[in-house]
């Protein structure tokens, strides 16, 4: 079957030095770009992470320090990767929780603002876990009836993920799903918008899941002592929490979204302060002067001295006649 696409859908998979989104780096990336016309484009490359690869990670994906010694750094290929992905929507296996946050960190380190504002995100694992709950290897076996050859190779994994999604759409297109609220729907459709909605039920703000949207589309914290509170509410009561997060070991993209919310909140506070000042000035202008103010003003006003009255004499009249010739 063929995916029903309005624009390209880029499946991607990462092999990394570890699982810490903020600290670990990419050692291999593979992207399969499914096009609306049914064609497929693939880009795969090794990346020098500019740090040693821990042995336990190498044992999983089979990539060792010597394998990437001459590979380009992510910064060197960031522009090329960004251009290849273009405006495509994104898809992957566990991509919402791991691959998307990691690649966003890498783009930010490279100085590229990879725009996420208008993209859809399809996490194949979320479909699988909500419908069947298994691993990628089991998913491929279950849906496609095959074993993954060369598992934990980025290209093999991402190709398997692509074919699993095709099989999921075929299998579940007429299958009912009941959510936690008891609402029944058929969410697995050959439509990226529908798949985006179904695989992003937590509505992450920053993809690392530190902040999510609530039912009112407000950003709320999803961890720590302020879990469940709106971010702006926390800024109102404890603005130092912003500085704590900025200085803490949080992903760069989490801090980027936090900055956006802080800027919006600060602008609201400034506007509210201006409105209060203007209202106070207007109220002062409308109030009549108090009796004490009137008395103080009268006391402060300068008193004009009156000239003494002088009687007119005959000599004065004679002098005026001589002066004006009368």
pLDDT of 106 higher than 90: yes
Q: What is the pLDDT of residues 119-168, one digit of tens each?
A: 999 999 999 888 876 788 889 998 999 998 887 789 999 999 999 999 99
Q: What is the pLDDT of residue 83?
A: 97
How does residue 298 score in pLDDT terms, banded at 50, 70 and 90?
low
Segment 242-270, tens digit of pLDDT: 999 999 989 999 999 999 999 999 999 99
Residue 6, phi then psi, degrees to nearest 5: -90, -30
Residue 295 has pLDDT above 80, yes or no: no
pLDDT in tens, 211-241: 999 989 999 999 889 999 999 999 999 999 9
Per residue in 302-319, pLDDT tens?
655 565 655 656 666 666
Structure confidence at residue 114 as a pLDDT band (50, 70, 90): very high
Average pLDDT in the 60-78 region? 96
**Residue 294: its pLDDT value, please?**
53
Structure tokens, 103: 């690649």
Q: Which CATH architecture describes the domain 9-128?
A: 2-Layer Sandwich (3.30)
Residue 250 and residue 242 in contact, taking contact as beta carbons nearer than 8 Å: no
Where along the chain do its domains lie? 9-128, 136-199, 202-282
């Amino acid at each position: 079957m063929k995916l029903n696409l309005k624009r390209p859908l880029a499946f991607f998979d990462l092999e990394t030095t570890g699982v810490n989104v903020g600290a670990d780096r990419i050692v291999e990336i593979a992207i399969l770009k499914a096009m609306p016309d049914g064609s497929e484009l693939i880009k795969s490359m090794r990346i020098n992470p500019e740090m040693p690869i821990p042995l336990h990670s190498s044992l999983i994906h089979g990539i060792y320090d010597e394998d990437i010694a001459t590979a380009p750094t992510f910064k060197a290929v960031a522009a090329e990767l960004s251009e290849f992905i273009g405006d495509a929507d994104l898809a992957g296996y566990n991509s919402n929780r791991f691959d998307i946050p990691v690649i966003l960190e890498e783009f930010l380190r490279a100085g590229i603002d990879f725009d996420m504002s208008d993209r859809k995100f399809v996490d194949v694992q979320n479909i699988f876990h909500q419908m069947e709950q298994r691993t990628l290897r089991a998913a491929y076996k279950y849906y496609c009836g095959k074993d993954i050859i060369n598992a934990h190779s980025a290209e093999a994994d991402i190709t398997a993920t692509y074919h699993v999604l095709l099989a999921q759409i075929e299998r579940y297109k007429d299958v009912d799903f009941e959510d936690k609220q008891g609402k029944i729907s058929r969410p697995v459709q050959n439509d990226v918008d529908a798949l985006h909605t179904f695989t992003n039920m937590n509505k992450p703000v920053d993809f690392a899941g530190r902040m999510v949207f609530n039912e009112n589309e407000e950003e709320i914290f999803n961890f720590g002592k302020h879990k469940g509170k709106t971010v702006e509410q926390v800024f109102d009561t404890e603005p130092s929490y912003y500085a704590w997060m900025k200085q803490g070991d949080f992903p760069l993209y989490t801090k980027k979204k936090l900055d956006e919310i802080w800027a919006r909140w600060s602008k609201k506070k400034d506007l509210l302060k201006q409105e209060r000042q203007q209202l106070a000035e207007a109220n002062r202008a409308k109030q009549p002067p108090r009796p004490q103010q009137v008395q103080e003003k009268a006391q402060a006003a300068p008193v004009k001295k009156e000239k003494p009255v002088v009687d007119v004499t005959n000599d004065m009249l004679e002098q005026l006649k001589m002066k004006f010739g009368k």
